[in-house]
Copies of this chain bind each other. A is one copy, B any other.
Amino acid sequence: MVERRQITGFSNPLVKMLRSLRDKKHRQREKRFLAEGLRLLTDARESGCIPEILVMAPNRQSHPLLAELEEGVAAAGGEVIEMDEKLLTKVTGKDNPQAVAGVFAEFETGLANLDRSTSPIWLVAQALRDPGNLGTMLRSCDAVGAGGLILIDDCADPFSVEAVRASMGAIFTTGLAQARWEDFIAWLRDGEGQLVAASLQDSSDYRASPYQAPCFLLIGNESQGLPEAYEAACDLRVRIPMRGRADSLNAAVAAAVLAYEAIAVLESD
């Protein structure tokens, strides 16, 4: 039987800490982030990530996966907390919170943690502002078999509740790094790797372009696209045809269309 601490008061320091994790500044200070929902937490556990703190509503439905999660947290020396639904709503900021949430230590996101030999394909996003797009890109990385996502310049926070939610668990399974452009380029050129820009300019058609593994697909900011200097530093610039009035796709959509084409070309070689 796992020991559970009951928390009822809104002014409890733990409740305050949990709430504060919705804010980037506090996440960075605590070096922790929040993930909600049994499915996400189970994906995390199966990937070897156990929350430091597991928070549950008392009126949750019992579930074998939840029991395993509780045991995992207890075995790892973590804490299991019961907190009523109203408090949990305050913590997660959702009207209908899922009955379970976990607090995780943030991962290291240095480039040194990535091993480019593990996958033929990687996504690189520059100044990506929308946390939903960021999470969706992580999810697409997992789906297409990419090694992970590298965030360049000032991007949305990958540990925000929105990004974690949109990743559908991929935050726990997919490589993740954050770097300044100069540091990324230095790291990239210190080994094998083809840098490919998703370009809005004159460039070759994205289909059947000469992709080479490990291939790093670079996607620009949602409204500005890539800086010219960044495009110029790429080994290949490819363009997804725009047949209508719009001049671009959603950034996460463009990344996935490009990644699925690149992996198909690489696999057919």
Smallest CB separation, A147 vs chain B (Å): 11
Q: Is A220's beta carbon under 8 Å from chain B?
A: no
Task: State the CA gap A145–B243 with chains docked (Å).
Answer: 5
Say which residue of B143, B240, B242, B245 sits within 8 Å of A246 (CB atoms): B143
Question: Are B256 and A140 in contact, with the CB atoms below 8 A?
Answer: no
In the complex, chain A residues 213-244 whose Cβ is within 8 Å of any chain B Cβ: 240, 242-244
Known A-B contacts A252-B253, A253-B136, A253-B256; the reply to A170 vs B246 at CB < 8 A is yes
Question: Are B136 and A250 in contact, with the CB atoms below 8 A?
Answer: yes
Question: What is the predominant secondary structure among interface residues of chain A facing chain B?
Answer: helix
* Chain A interfacial residues counted at CB < 8 A: 35
Question: Are B207 and A245 in contact, with the CB atoms below 8 A?
Answer: no
On chain B, the residues within 8 Å of A169 by CB distance are: 245-246
Ordered by A's residue number, 21 sampled pairs between the chains whose C-beta atoms are within 8 Å are A43-B245, A46-B245, A136-B250, A136-B253, A139-B249, A139-B253, A141-B244, A142-B244, A142-B245, A143-B249, A144-B244, A168-B246, A169-B245, A173-B244, A173-B246, A174-B244, A207-B264, A240-B260, A253-B256, A256-B256, A260-B261
Q: 16 extra interchain contacts, Cβ-Cβ under 8 A, other than A169-B246, A207-B264, A240-B260?
A: A43-B245, A46-B245, A136-B253, A139-B246, A139-B250, A140-B250, A142-B245, A144-B244, A145-B244, A168-B246, A170-B246, A173-B245, A173-B246, A174-B244, A256-B257, A260-B261
